[in-house]
Structure 1
Amino acid sequence: MKRPAQAPRGKQIVDVVVDPFLSRHLREHQRLGVRFLYECVMGMRSYGGEGAILADDMGLGKTLQTIALLWTLLKQNPVYEEAPVIKKALIVCPVSLINNWRKEFKKWLGVERIGVFVADEKRNRLTDFTMGKSYNIMIVGYEKLKKFQDDLKKGAGIDIVIMDEGHRLKTAQNKSMMAIKSLNTERRIVLTGTPFQNNLGEYYTLVDLVNPGSLQKYTTFKRQFEGPIVKGRQPEATTKDKEKGEARFQELTSLTDMFILRRTADILAKYLPPKTEYVLFCRPTTVQASVYRSVLSSPVFGAVLRSSEASLQLINILKKVCNSPNLLSNRIDEDKENSNQTIKTLLADIPPMLLKSPGASGKLQVLDSLLHHLRTTTQEKVVLVSNYTSTLDILGNLLSSLSYKWLRLDGSTPPNKRQDLVDKFNRTDAANCFAFLLSAKSGGVGLNLIGASRLVLFDVDWNPGTDLQAMARIHRDGQKRPCKIYRLLTQGALDEKIYQRQLTKQGLADSVIDNKANASSFTTDELRNLFTLDESGRCQTHELLACPCEGRGVPVMDAEAPDSLDSNVSTDDEDELPSFPNLIKASQYDAEAQERQAKERRNQASKKQGKPSMMGLMQYLHLDTSRLASTPGDEERSAGDEPEAAVDDDVLLDMLKEEGNRVAFVFAKTSASVLD
């Protein structure tokens, strides 16, 4: 570890070294992470605080890095013959992760090296931690922290607080945050894989929690940073607004980079098998489309648009129609007490027989076929994720009807049972436990489900971070198989529009900008666009990209781009290099200029091709599944045009080739791996 700049008077500085028992397990990025956290909490960095945010992507080992830091601080001090830096550490986390933390401490340090106190266990007395010497670590859920905050100040007090999934502390008025601040420790670390979930105000709250005052008061922050940055990101922003917003963003980044460390999952490419994500656009069934039209053609539809509350309820109704119209049958039965008469009237306009029709969901038909091929042709297991417990009920019924054995974890699962379910699933073979049903909100963080190598996101969330967290449950340390992730969307319906909005917001979230989705964030025109059903059969998302590949499943750069893509690229610059294949002298070749020129062309192409904020989809292969029905002798298929190559998944490919398959379009992207 880095040494302090100087020793106290009469004292000597000694080296602090991470225990080899732990350091031999640390990868290079984890070693750097432990050093970074150590320097932050020891006040060795130039920002004048002792807090830090470790914002590594999911699966990079934030828990292990934290354990290595705590063990080092509990046992050592850079000042010779001084007591260890800390005596008591508090870990605050979602209740679903309490057992995971305890298990990780046991895994890396055993039970004989360190005492871990779990506050949720009734047999434990809090004084055993605050007053005793047997326990150095306490783990508590966010919900129960307030109950213990006064007692935690007794005894030696808390020397450091670790906040796992810290992005949940969204406001300064959050009770858990206020309890943490009351503990009077400056050493605070936030762990989160999705640090920028909603807006700059929430980002400010997190930063001010770990290092109070580093961004001044919120009113000052809003005036100096939030206002100009958000204004510069708006579509109608002037060049001056954009320049000012970018300058303030760079200034903000430079201020926080000293205590925020973020690495992406790309680091894992050398350690993990490859991961392939498939976005499957599923044709709605006739029943689904009829229910959808019934909702949109209701006489009260106009009234819904004028009410923020009703609009939000209608969004939830249409999301359920995308999953399965059967869900609305339950909604009508259970919603008798609903005070919104408009929604009641709207639901009453739907023909009841449509809601009870079996096989009414296109996505459910696709999942049925996918599960059948997966179970009958492989020994792999699958995780099924949804944002709705009612949808999980339907998925459970499907699995049971197929005689597939499964487990389930949602908000109603007792905290002390959750890790047992995870362990059982990871240990059991596919014949005895084929699927794991998971609630995105309750089980989408922290859980290690590497027993599965396939994951299905049955519905999408407004917040891309929620989906990314869920996807990371299987592609993480310990995974031995290549991972396949399937995102199911109902084509032309709200599902697809949420995905489009998720993509446009993802770019902003990556830059610490707004990603909040609620009814008040939509204009009336945006709501009208959301509440439409495109039954043209074309992939609306692909059309928005204006991609020239024609759904052939070839890399976009290999597709014959329209001439107009380069029409605005200036050729008048005197310093511009000749276009290859013209020959120039080696002494005239400027690699940096050539790269600049290529970048300018790409930027110009992006401006011409659809929405720039959705350009991340250009990294995917785009496949119109109707091309799979073509035979090699068809005139449509040219030399080298082999759409099957876009789907590097025999299970999915067999399903797509089935007669009556409901997947109309596929986006596919594989993360590379350098494993031997």
Structure 2
Amino acid sequence: MVDGHPVLRSNNYDLESGERSVFEMELNREPWSSDAEVKVRVERPMSLKREMPFVVRKPHKQINAAEQVRHEHNTSIRSAASAMEGRRAQFFNRHMAVLAPFITPRAVNAIREKAAAHDASKDAVPEAVEAQPECVVGTMREYQVEGLRWLVSRVGDSGVNSILADEMGLGKTLQTIAFLAYMQTVRRVAGPSLVVVPMSVLSSWTKEFARWAPHLRVVRVHTSSPEDKLRIRREVLANPSSFDVAVTTYDMMSSKDLGNSLSRTIAWRYLVLDEGHKIKNELTQVAQRMRHVSCQNIVLLTGTPLQNNLHELYALLNFMHPDIFTTSDPFDQAFDLTKNRVDNDALEAAHRLIQPICLRRLKEDVEKSLPARVETRIHCPLSSMQTFWYRRLLLKDSAMLKSLETEVTKEDAGNDAWKKLQALFMQLRKCCNHPYLFPGAEPDFDGSQTGEHPSSRNKWEDIVEASGKMAVLDRMLAMLHARGHRVTLFSQFNIMLDIIEDYMIMRGYKYVRLDGSTSRVQRMIDINRFNIPGSNLFIYILNTKAGGLGVNLQSADTCILFDSDWNPQWDLQAMARVHRIGQTRTCHVYRFCTSGTIEQRVQQRAEKKLFLDQMVNSGHTESVEELEKLSKGEMLSMLKFGADRIFASEEGQAPTDKELAAIIDRSVSLGQSGVRACLHCTCQLGLRRNRNLACML
């Protein structure tokens, strides 16, 4: 106590000795003295002491009932896939003669070892599909039942991932739906399947499921809303027993959030890829994402199973059977036009290779009543304005072409040369269509004139007279309209469709248009308007790629290809919009080609690629070699083609009215018209397997 107040002992000090130092209070040591020997013990920091690391153990995560169900489901799918390994190995072992040239000896030995270890006598004998199953509502055609039987045998019984490659229009969608319904209803194979489709046919798939297999619980997985994506992950994908089939798009599979959930959350019973050739390049994002999908078996749907080279065929086979097709060398060495390499024996071997795992039928093979498709190529001359622009483009880049002519012979030629050639290619192709595709080429005109005044009429007619193709189109449409035919017209360029649309307004033709900007709702409305009996719509103008899938225009009997794509499959898909099952009239296809220009060489190159199709796929091919596959020397050769005539100002000769009338005359057979001998066109018919293109001239 100090003066009656309580004081802590540590604070009780007198004025002479003063307050104790911190050193004394904290360490409880005597004050330092110079005479005394001081020994201070230095403690090592705790961080430097060698002690066992302190591990914080996370509490065991409690697995709820839904997660437990999903885990059990995924385990059962993986177990079923492992159980089918022996059957799959025995299937490939039976076809080892055609398989061996394309796989490594290590893969051959692995197949034989698995096949020998599997006891087939213990396998249950599956019941074959003899007729249309009751679980499929409606009536299937006989070849579609055969396709179902093949899918059940290959995928369901043998566990072999396969390709259904029927030609467009033969009902691959129906056969796939029937397979999924049969396996679940008859074979009692439970577990949801994933169907991945292009965005343009998403609605068609869901409608077909409701039509042919209404008992299947189908969910549509496609949305851009973050809230809907979260709901799908929590309420749908979290419970695999709540649905039978999930239909989604390649865009959703490529997305970060929902794509990861679709790939990793659920092990799917069957993975179905519509337009399966989208994974033909194994390096693309969508191909990489699809490889992460966990599933028991894979079914690829494509009307184009064979690409322009055998490496893309390898990409499909490697995706389906990565443990068997481990190297692309045998495929790459068989067919490569950039190196003038064509091995006929290897191509024949490739044809035999895909037969066991690929079912391919053509329309003329299964639908004897389907009317014929007649393809006619019409050579259109360049107009004087087109000749001016074509010559101007070549002169503008003449110095570049001259330097590149020596550069392409060097092995170290850079990519800049190829990019410049590619840009010139595109400009020349646009010139072949219409000079108004170039900025500043079209005369000043606001488009509000009606054509009644003579001065405005000349401006309208310039749209026709400025292009050789438009001049031929103008005369053809007048004849077709007068005879009551209905037309579909395809072009690759939306800006070309703008010009054609102006022309339709000028001539007063009733039309509808479809391009990439057309909404799905508007697309369905326009298609229904065009196909309705008694429709007053004369022509449907479409972008080749936007209108190549999910569009049924069989009420038309005429298809005009205003320009041709580097990929001939897009053109074939365009034709298939009209020439399909249900068509009752002969389908006439008119392909426009500007004579003596780069466009003619592009079409010739596409035709040469049909050789690969004929040899390997027996009558059908997916695509011509892409533009980037062309060598610089080939591109220069194409650019030079016809240049001498362009600079000599020689004008081509357009078909006369008499010749055009003979082309569109449907009242006589192909061999009866005496005028066809002098047509400025090339006619092709048939495109049948292992048969040369028949010339009707």
TM-score (norm 1): 0.69
Match runs of 1:370-385 below 5 Å: 370-378=476-484, 380-385=485-490
- In the aligned structure 2, how far is the partner of 1:268 from the partner of 1:257? 18
- In the aligned structure 1, how far is the partner of 2:658 from the partner of 2:550? 39
Confirm or deny that 1:206 pairs with 2:223.
no
- In structure 1, the partner of 2:400 is 302
Residue identity opposite 1:371 in structure 2: L
For residues 301-346 of structure 1, give each alpha carbon's deviation from its aligned partner in whole angstroms, at most 9, with x where no partner exists.
534872211111111111111110100127999xxxxxxxxxxxxx
The Cα shift of 1:516 comes to 1.6
Q: Name the CA shift for 1:300/1:64 in 2 (closer, same or farther; >3 Å).
A: same
Q: Name the CA shift for 1:326/1:154 in 2 (closer, same or farther; >3 Å).
A: closer
For residues 563-622 of structure 1, give each alpha carbon's deviation from its aligned partner in whole angstroms, at most 9, with x where no partner exists.
xxxxxxxxxxxxxxxxxxxxxxxxxxxxxxxxxxxxxxxxxxxxxxxxxxxxxxxxxxxx
- Answer yes or no: is the 8 Å Cα contact 2:464–2:471 preserved in 1: no
- In structure 1, the partner of 2:379 is 281
Report the 3-state secondary structure (helix = DSSP H, G, I; strand = E; otherwise coil) of the residue aligned with 1:266: helix
- Answer yes or no: is the 8 Å Cα contact 1:198–1:515 preserved in 2: yes
- Answer yes or no: is the 8 Å Cα contact 2:240–2:266 preserved in 1: no
Aligned-residue sequence identity (percent) comes to 29
Report the 3-state secondary structure (helix = DSSP H, G, I; strand = E; otherwise coil) of the residue aligned with 2:247: strand
Confirm or deny that 1:39 pairs with 2:143.
no
Match runs of 1:244-255 below 5 Å: 245-255=343-353
Q: Which moved more, 1:264-273 or 1:450-459?
A: 264-273
Residue identity opposite 1:266 in structure 2: E
- In the aligned structure 2, how far is the partner of 1:516 from the partner of 1:396? 31
Confirm or deny that 1:362 pairs with 2:483.
no
1:118 to 207, 220, 236: 220
Report the 3-state secondary structure (helix = DSSP H, G, I; strand = E; otherwise coil) of the residue aligned with 1:447: coil
Confirm or deny that 1:138 pairs with 2:252.
no
- In structure 2, the partner of 1:30 is 144
- In structure 2, the partner of 1:667 is 682
- In structure 1, the partner of 2:571 is 467
- In the aligned structure 2, how far is the partner of 1:624 from the partner of 1:406? 26
- In the aligned structure 2, how far is the partner of 1:53 from the partner of 1:280? 36
The Cα shift of 1:417 comes to 4.2
- In structure 2, the partner of 1:344 is none
Confirm or deny that 1:61 pairs with 2:195.
no
Q: Name the CA shift for 1:193/1:157 in 2 (closer, same or farther; >3 Å).
A: same
- In the aligned structure 1, how far is the partner of 2:124 from the partner of 2:261? 35
- In structure 2, the partner of 1:454 is 558
1:166 to 244, 262, 276: 276
The Cα shift of 1:506 comes to 1.9
Confirm or deny that 1:649 pairs with 2:671.
no
For residues 230-286 of structure 1, give each alpha carbon's deviation from its aligned partner in whole angstroms, at most 9, with x where no partner exists.
48x965x6xxxx7xx333333333333211122223225513222211111112212
Q: Name the CA shift for 1:465/1:477 in 2 (closer, same or farther; >3 Å).
A: same
- In structure 1, the partner of 2:585 is 481
Q: Which moved more, 1:495-504 or 1:133-142?
A: 133-142
Q: Name the CA shift for 1:230/1:644 in 2 (closer, same or farther; >3 Å).
A: same
- Answer yes or no: is the 8 Å Cα contact 2:348–2:615 preserved in 1: no
Unaligned runs of 5+ in 1: 78-83, 334-352, 538-622, 630-642
The Cα shift of 1:511 comes to 3.8
For residues 393-416 of structure 1, give each alpha carbon's deviation from its aligned partner in whole angstroms, at most 9, with x where no partner exists.
111111122222222222222345
- In structure 1, the partner of 2:429 is 319
- In structure 1, the partner of 2:626 is 517
Q: Name the CA shift for 1:168/1:192 in 2 (closer, same or farther; >3 Å).
A: same
Q: Name the CA shift for 1:106/1:664 in 2 (closer, same or farther; >3 Å).
A: same
- In structure 2, the partner of 1:91 is 195
The Cα shift of 1:392 comes to 1.3
Could you say which structure has the larger radius of gyration?
A: 2
Match runs of 1:188-227 below 5 Å: 188-215=298-325, 217-218=326-327, 221-222=328-329, 224-227=330-333
Residue identity opposite 2:166 in structure 1: D
- Answer yes or no: is the 8 Å Cα contact 2:309–2:336 preserved in 1: no
Over the aligned positions, Cα root-mean-square deviation in angstroms equals 3.9
The Cα shift of 1:142 comes to 0.6
TM-score (norm 2): 0.67
- Answer yes or no: is the 8 Å Cα contact 1:53–1:210 preserved in 2: no
- In structure 1, the partner of 2:99 is none
Match runs of 1:192-591 below 5 Å: 192-215=302-325, 217-218=326-327, 221-222=328-329, 224-230=330-336, 245-298=343-396, 300-303=398-401, 306=404, 307-329=417-439, 359-378=465-484, 380-427=485-532, 429-431=534-536, 433-511=537-615, 515-518=624-627, 521-524=630-633, 526-533=635-642
- In the aligned structure 2, how far is the partner of 1:420 from the partner of 1:458? 25
For residues 435-479 of structure 1, give each alpha carbon's deviation from its aligned partner in whole angstroms, at most 9, with x where no partner exists.
222211222123222122211111011222121111111111222
- In the aligned structure 2, how far is the partner of 1:357 from the partner of 1:486? 21
The Cα shift of 1:510 comes to 4.0
Q: Name the CA shift for 1:652/1:318 in 2 (closer, same or farther; >3 Å).
A: farther
Report the 3-state secondary structure (helix = DSSP H, G, I; strand = E; otherwise coil) of the residue aligned with 2:379: strand
Unaligned runs of 5+ in 2: 1-86, 91-118, 405-416, 444-458, 647-652, 689-697
Q: Which moved more, 1:265-274 or 1:487-496?
A: 265-274
Confirm or deny that 1:72 pairs with 2:72.
no
Residue identity opposite 2:357 in structure 1: F
The Cα shift of 1:664 comes to 6.1
- In the aligned structure 2, how far is the partner of 1:270 from the partner of 1:15? 27
- Answer yes or no: is the 8 Å Cα contact 1:55–1:263 preserved in 2: yes
Q: Name the CA shift for 1:520/1:182 in 2 (closer, same or farther; >3 Å).
A: closer
- In the aligned structure 2, how far is the partner of 1:202 from the partner of 1:178? 15
Aligned residues: 520
Q: Name the CA shift for 1:176/1:62 in 2 (closer, same or farther; >3 Å).
A: same
- In structure 2, the partner of 1:187 is 297
- In the aligned structure 2, how far is the partner of 1:417 from the partner of 1:646? 34
Q: Name the CA shift for 1:482/1:357 in 2 (closer, same or farther; >3 Å).
A: closer
Residue identity opposite 2:479 in structure 1: H
- In the aligned structure 2, how far is the partner of 1:407 from the partner of 1:66? 32
- Answer yes or no: is the 8 Å Cα contact 1:54–1:262 preserved in 2: yes
- Answer yes or no: is the 8 Å Cα contact 2:515–2:543 preserved in 1: yes
- In the aligned structure 1, how far is the partner of 2:298 from the partner of 2:523? 28
- Answer yes or no: is the 8 Å Cα contact 2:487–2:538 preserved in 1: yes
- Answer yes or no: is the 8 Å Cα contact 1:92–1:142 preserved in 2: yes
- Answer yes or no: is the 8 Å Cα contact 2:376–2:682 preserved in 1: yes
For residues 21-43 of structure 1, give each alpha carbon's deviation from its aligned partner in whole angstroms, at most 9, with x where no partner exists.
64873323222221221122124
Q: Name the CA shift for 1:672/1:645 in 2 (closer, same or farther; >3 Å).
A: farther
Report the 3-state secondary structure (helix = DSSP H, G, I; strand = E; otherwise coil) of the residue aligned with 1:59: coil
The Cα shift of 1:59 comes to 1.5
- In the aligned structure 1, how far is the partner of 2:123 from the partner of 2:353? 35
- In the aligned structure 1, how far is the partner of 2:280 from the partner of 2:384? 42
1:149 to 259, 262, 270: 259
Q: Name the CA shift for 1:87/1:472 in 2 (closer, same or farther; >3 Å).
A: same
Residue identity opposite 1:485 in structure 2: V
Q: Name the CA shift for 1:268/1:286 in 2 (closer, same or farther; >3 Å).
A: farther
Residue identity opposite 1:273 in structure 2: P
